[in-house]
Structure 1
Amino acid sequence: MTHADIEALVKQFLVDTATQGTPNPRVQQVVVRLTTDLFKAIEDLDLSQTEVWKGVEYLAEAGATHELGLLAAGLGLERFLDIRADEAEARAGLTGGTPRTIEGPLYVAGAPESTGYARLDDGSEAGQGEVLFMQGTVYGADGQPLPGAKVEVWHANLLGNYSFFDKSQSDFNMRSTIVTDLKGRYQFRSNVPMGYGCPPQGTTQRMLDLLARHGRRPAHIHFFVSAPGHRKLTTQINIDGDEYLWDDFAFASRDGLVPAVRRIDDPEQLDKLQLDNPFASIDFDFRLLPDVADAPAAEVERIRAAA
């Protein structure tokens, strides 16, 4: 079939049959376009019926095992959406904020809230990794410190697993919501996270294997940062020195999101923090952009876990 034949066929299937009322124009536009592109790909690539149905089965399995969000990251879809959001902000004259990067599929709403400081880890991995203190200031659109901003933070444990999804961990382990203090400051204590990979037998890794790609992520820490009158920031920082720092299967590594990691061994500081061993320290400031009417919404509506 020619592309023109396919376009006429899809119109016959999806537009001419709209006789049960008025279709949603946006839904119709998107479905017609995606169906047309799919049919053209099947024709151009000469996909067999078996290949098509195996693709349908693969997507069904990925959905049933809750890996579609992981697959979206691994195929670059989530990064592509971020690139488009960056371009839209630039067109609206919004520049100079902390770089955004992907959210990933492992956020959980409802983490405990505190002001200024929080301890993320529950102590179950004490002595097994390196203690981390991370701190900084949230700056508003006027360049001034922003008291009362909300810093939501989450990361994996030393096995590369996330609480809620890993039922062996306590509720909200490695998760917190920190409201900045009167100086716009936040700080948390945790463990330096480890990098991790896709489930080795999962649908995402099976696809990556067929593409001759690895499924590893560098060690990283996720953030949502928000405040009234400002665009919500979705980002993460990577731990400098990780083997996969610039080879992230999810394409989330970006300049400006790899802060220096200092190792602190000063006895006075160790004694003050009641620590026996040196610890890691990361300083990182967040800079938010103003919320303006002609920019696309910074709040992404998607299904997220909630404890």
Structure 2
Amino acid sequence: MSVSIFAGKEVQDFLRTVSNLDGADGDARTKQVLHRILSDLFKAIEDLDLTPDEIWAGINYLNKLGQDGEAALLAAGIGLEHYLDMRLDEEDRIAGITGGTPRTIEGPLYVAGAPVSQGSAKIDHDADPDAGPLRIHGVVKDEDGQPVAGALVECWHANSKGFYSHFDPTGAQTDFNLRGAVTTGADGSYEFLTKMPVGYGCPPQGATQQLLNRLARHGNRPAHVHFFVTTDSYRKLTTQFNIDGDPLLWDDFAYATRDGLVPPVKDISGGGKAFGFEADAYKAIEFNFGLIPLEAGKDNQLVYRLRAAA
């Protein structure tokens, strides 16, 4: 039986009490946020006539989500992380800020502490016979198209099995395999010598895929490569490009594919051994980064979040 009590004084007073909204102590922002979230939740319970069984099933799901360590993965899968990018895009539009490489989601699999090289880094430390050689290269540029020296470009991606080092359930990868960082020289150039990645899927028994199954959605990503680009004078860029030709290119469960982030993949017939590749033929992706200057000396869109480190 549906009941309607949310708008009544008893429930509204109760919400203020639970969040201690009128108390003098405590963090005002936390109280404000909790009051709003609880209010929206209570209203949803009433509007959808959620049963106690359904509510406790949801609480049990949250327990499983925490046990699986998949909260950040779920944030990508339900579009929360992309929505944050949409808001940042709109902030830029309102401020009249244009240009630069499109941002897109960071995802949950970054690890801080990758070795830093000057200009170029070979990051495929482990044998992977199912992945061919790949050269990723380009230039970091400012708003006028001029090279940016001293930029830190960080890169990470999956192996041919769709696993990332430090998160590989097989334990087969060494630390920082397919992860690296380089600083640009005076010409702003960077280079990563690596292997072609593939996409990955959510753990099939995990909480994220469990929810996606109930939505009749897949939990797969196209092949992609992640980047951070950091300097003292420009906003930090968080982005990734997807590998052109992947069948899931525009069907990414994490909604990370964007125009401008699908560079062409070139087949190079010779010269691979000069880069340290086992084969002379290799694939190459040129991807240039465009940075946005700081606003009043500050990065007004820098995101602070808990990240893995090694």
- Which residue in the other structure is 2:12 paired with? 7
Equivalent residues of 2:233, 2:297 under 8 A apart: no
Matches within 5 A, 1:136-285: 136-166=138-168, 167-266=171-270, 269-270=271-272, 272-273=274-275, 275-285=278-288
User: Greater shift after overlay, 7-16 or 58-67?
Assistant: 7-16
List structure 1 segments (4+ residues) > 4 angstroms apart after TM superposition.
Answer: none
Q: 1:46 to 1:271 in 2, by over 3 A?
A: closer
* Distance in structure 2 (CA, Å) of the matches to 1:296 and 1:91: 16
Counterpart residue type for residue 136 of structure 1? G
Instruction: State the Cα deviation string for residues 30-64 of structure 1 (Å, max 9, x = none).
Output: 11000000000111111111111111111111112
Q: 1:296 to 1:139 in 2, by over 3 A?
A: closer
Structure 2, unaligned runs of 5 or more:
none
User: Greater shift after overlay, 287-296 or 106-115?
Assistant: 287-296
Give TM-score, length-normalised by structure 1: 0.94
Candidates 287, 290, 293, aligned match of 1:290: 293
- Which residue in the other structure is 1:89 paired with? 92
Aligned-pair Cα RMSD in Å = 1.7
Identity %: 50
- Which residue in the other structure is 1:69 paired with? 72
The number of residues matched between the two structures is 302
**Deviation, structure 1 residue 296:** 7.0
**Deviation, structure 1 residue 172:** 0.4
Matches within 5 A, 1:60-139: 60-125=63-128, 127-139=129-141
Candidates 8, 23, 26, aligned match of 2:26: 23
**Deviation, structure 1 residue 273:** 3.6
* Distance in structure 1 (CA, Å) of the matches to 2:297 and 2:215: 39
Instruction: State the Cα deviation string for residues 217-243 of structure 1 (Å, max 9, x = none).
Output: 000000001111111000000000001
Counterpart residue type for residue 203 of structure 2? P
1:301 is aligned to 2:304: yes
Equivalent residues of 2:235, 2:299 under 8 A apart: no
Counterpart residue type for residue 227 of structure 1? T
**Deviation, structure 1 residue 113:** 0.2
Counterpart residue type for residue 139 of structure 2? T
User: Greater shift after overlay, 102-111 or 158-167?
Assistant: 158-167
Give TM-score, length-normalised by structure 2: 0.93
Counterpart residue type for residue 160 of structure 1? G
Equivalent residues of 1:233, 1:288 under 8 A apart: yes
Q: 1:271 to 1:132 in 2, by over 3 A?
A: closer
**Deviation, structure 1 residue 17:** 6.8
Q: 1:271 to 1:190 in 2, by over 3 A?
A: closer
* Distance in structure 2 (CA, Å) of the matches to 1:281 and 1:80: 32
Counterpart residue type for residue 140 of structure 2? V
Equivalent residues of 1:221, 1:237 under 8 A apart: yes
**Deviation, structure 1 residue 16:** 6.1
**Deviation, structure 1 residue 294:** 9.7
* Distance in structure 1 (CA, Å) of the matches to 2:273 and 2:179: 26
Counterpart residue type for residue 79 of structure 1? H
Counterpart residue type for residue 14 of structure 2? L
Counterpart residue type for residue 155 of structure 1? H
Structure 1, unaligned runs of 5 or more:
none
Counterpart residue type for residue 19 of structure 2? L
